[in-house]
Amino acid sequence: MEEYVIDIEAENKEIRKRYRALLRACKPTLQKGDKQEIRKAFDLALESHKDMRRKSGEPYIYHPIAVAQIAAEEIGLGTTSIVCALLHDVVEDTSITLEEIESLFGKKVAKIIDGLTKISGVFDPNSSIQAENFRKMLLTLADDVRVILIKLADRLHNMRTMEFMARHKQLKIASETSYLYAPLAHRLGLYAIKSELEDLSMKYTDPDTYKFIAKKLNEKKAEREKFIKDFISPVKEILLEQDINASVFGRPKSIHSIWNKMRKKSIPFEEVYDLFAIRVIIDTEYEKEKTECWKVYSIITDLYRPNPDRLRDWVSTPKGNGYESLHTTVMGPRGQWVEVQIRTKRMNEIAEKGFAAHWKYKESNTDNGLDQWIQKVRDVLSNPEQNALDFLDDFKMNLFSDEIFIFTPKGTLIQLPNGATALDFAFEIHSDIGATCIGAKVNHKLVPLSHPLQNGDQLEIITSSKQTPKEDWLNFVVTAKAKSKIKSSLKEEKRRVAEDGKEILERKMKSLKLTYNTDNINKIANFFKYPSSQELFYNVAKGIIDIKNLRDYVASEKTHDLVTQNQFNSHISGLVEKIDKRNADTILIGDDNQKLDYTLAVCCNPIPGDDIFGFLTVNEGIKIHRTSCPNASKLMANYGYRILKARWASSQMDHAFITGIRIIGIDDVGLVNKLTTVISQEFNVNIRSLSISSNEGIFEGNIMVNINNIEQLDNLINRLKLVSGITSVTRYESEN
């Protein structure tokens, strides 16, 4: 154990210094008596956490002060939030109770802190503690959005100071962040925080790519700054001439967004043109905002030719999260496309501080998209029976999607997520209209329920009293509201059928001389692998389970034993005994570097040298994934307790692992022969499968090969890039 030499005097001095900095950050929002409330909260936090230290060895109190500082400075929250930020861990980590908080600080503060406190207790393995905690936190969002904003400040500080944590904890927290907290920040309009959370998550889940892009950005920094200077000087000149008070500057894009672009377009770093954006921020009064933004647009497009397909007008119709801005992409002086963002000071504050800034400007912003969104969250939360993981998936689906704007027959504007269908629109208007919808007219033309909508469509819904929601509707709706209403309607129908099944089963059990009690019902449900007694009753009513099946049950009396979270350790010790000798020495798992049986996940095909983790499944033992696997963030975000540390015993293996390579280039006679010669003869690598397509002179190939380690793969990729006509060679993630 590392020893810390603690200088109490120096620490106390530092705590006082940080507290004073916090008060300075709170100054703009302080009212009479607020300082005393903040002081009271600070004193209680200081006293409660006095013997606690962070992993870095620092006093724990540094954390609540930092969270309060972020809430005040970077989100712009007021005194109640600062008090809650200072106290956000006391109920969870110390002996202070919620009742004590309520008597000291009132109901509102106690309610917010309750929303920030994790639930305790053990769940069955098909549930997820993390998902339940998210749900609890989001339930309070409907009452008080400050819960989420303080949680985001807490998460941001934890992400900024995560280097002292154990690797598996870093992975779990980073994955949770990219899976839920970054999308939440985006949805609440906190763009700066969203970008930082995404970048910090990537720093831990995919450190190699993160470092690679950071290094590349740094190499080109001076060149980029000169380009920005040349681009903006004529713009500044004309703004000055026309008496427009505005600041113009270049802003680098986040590492995560650059990586996204490289992945989506399958292009190398060098081909990502918009590594930065030019931002123009106009200082003007509210009434003149729209005119001034378009005036600046006119000045810029007089100087540089715009790309007509890349104009985004969120000034006339703001995004659902309140974001307002005018974006255009123009051809810069050196034949390079440049994104230009035009907005006012008010719009910029809303883009940076999101929700908190909205309250400040509420009077001038009558149609608040965020209020509507909170209302939608309330609708989703109104379905209390939904499983927490289903709820999270539905909720997450509505976080990141861009909006499309649809008109009702009378011309009212409705915002829906991109990809929404006619049925989503029907549920958006009213649940009953959705439930009885049989079709729609889009721009006066009849279309089916599954018809995907386009920006600007005008819709009329056709209903019938005989219509009821169908199971397959869930396949083509994308809004959480439609999904939750369809599910609850189907559940209601299922419940009705199950009631009949219950009576039938009771009669059948009587004839088999089986006692009808809860214990026996659960045993039967387990035997037939149904997750609940209701599912059993339903299948009895449908005739899927009859007297013959029940006789099988009586004969076997065998019950299915579920692995619970607390039994995972004994499950692991069972795995030790059935090690596959071929790969026993390849991967070491867990804190004790045990040699356990495992399988490699096909979604990401890990190979020696990759950063990996183990995931303990309920039925298939341990699966090994890459930390940058497309499914990793969901697994780690929802089932952190099933994550096991894993590392390659050595990067030099004598047996091969399957991985994929995607090759794009200009089609040419003998190209396939050239590629296979490099792979099979030069590198002596076995080709497992090969799929090739050639379209109008463009060659695309996906090749699955047997590789020993990451080094061999990198060398092979670099050699394939040298084959004439090849434009891109990348490691290929399996699509399943």
Q: How far apart are CA 100 and CA 77, in angstroms?
A: 24
**pLDDT for the residue 375:** 66
Looking at the structure, do residues 538 and 577 belong to the same domain, yes or no? no
State percent of the chain over pLDDT 90.
Answer: 26
Q: Is the pLDDT of residue 380 over 90?
A: no
Cα radius of gyration (the chain): 29
Phi, psi of 599, rounded to the nearest 5 degrees = -130, 155
Q: Is the pLDDT of residue 564 over 80?
A: no
Of 575, 578, 605, the C-alpha closest to 589 is 575
DSSP 454-518: -TT-BEEEEE-TT----GGGGGT--SHHHHHHHHHHHHHHHHHHHHHHHHHHHHHHHHTT---SH
CATH of the domain at 71: 1.10.3210.10
Domain hosting 667: range is 657-732
Please give the residue that has the higher pLDDT: either 196 or 2. 196
- Give the mean pLDDT of the chain: 82
Mean pLDDT on 598-626: 86
Q: Is the pLDDT of residue 122 over 60?
A: no
What pLDDT digit, counting tens, does each position of 35-63 carry?
A: 999 999 999 999 998 888 888 888 999 99
Does the residue 411 lie in any domain?
A: no
pLDDT band at residue 2 under the 50/70/90 scheme: very low
**pLDDT for the residue 62:** 94
Q: Is the pLDDT of residue 417 over 80?
A: yes
Looking at the structure, do residues 55 and 165 belong to the same domain, yes or no? yes
* Catalytic entry in 7, 43, 47, 92: 92
Of 241, 383, 218, the C-alpha closest to 299 is 241
pLDDT band at residue 488 under the 50/70/90 scheme: confident
Q: How far apart are CA 442 and CA 257, in angstroms?
A: 35
Does the residue 178 lie in any domain?
A: yes
**pLDDT for the residue 397:** 60
Does the residue 664 lie in any domain?
A: yes
Number of structural domains (the chain) is 5
From 505, 521, 556, the end of a domain falls on: 556
3-state secondary structure 69-80: HHHHHCCCCCHH
Looking at the structure, do residues 725 and 599 belong to the same domain, yes or no? no
Q: How far apart are CA 176 and CA 155, in angstroms?
A: 10
From 205, 222, 244, the end of a domain falls on: 205
From 364, 395, 420, the end of a domain falls on: 364
The bridge status of strand 587-589 relative to strand 643-648 is: antiparallel
* Catalytic entry in 93, 371, 471, 682: 93
Q: Is the pLDDT of residue 127 over 80?
A: no
48 within 8 A of 94, measured Cβ to Cβ: yes
Residues 6+ apart with CB under 8 A from 288: none
> What's the pTM?
0.73
Q: Is the pLDDT of residue 366 over 50?
A: no
Does the residue 459 lie in any domain?
A: no
Q: Is 568 exposed, middle or buried (0-12, 13-18, 19+ CB in 10 A)?
A: middle
Q: How far is CA 629 from the centre of its chain?
A: 14
Tokens 């749900």 label which residue?
A: 135
Look up 735 and say whether it is catalytic.
Answer: no
**pLDDT for the residue 302:** 94
Neighbours of 402 (CB within 10 A): 11
**pLDDT for the residue 251:** 84
**pLDDT for the residue 559:** 40
Look up 93 and say whether it is catalytic.
Answer: yes
Tell me the helices (H) and strands (E) count for the chain, helix number first: 30, 19
**pLDDT for the residue 319:** 81
Q: Is the pLDDT of residue 489 over 60?
A: yes
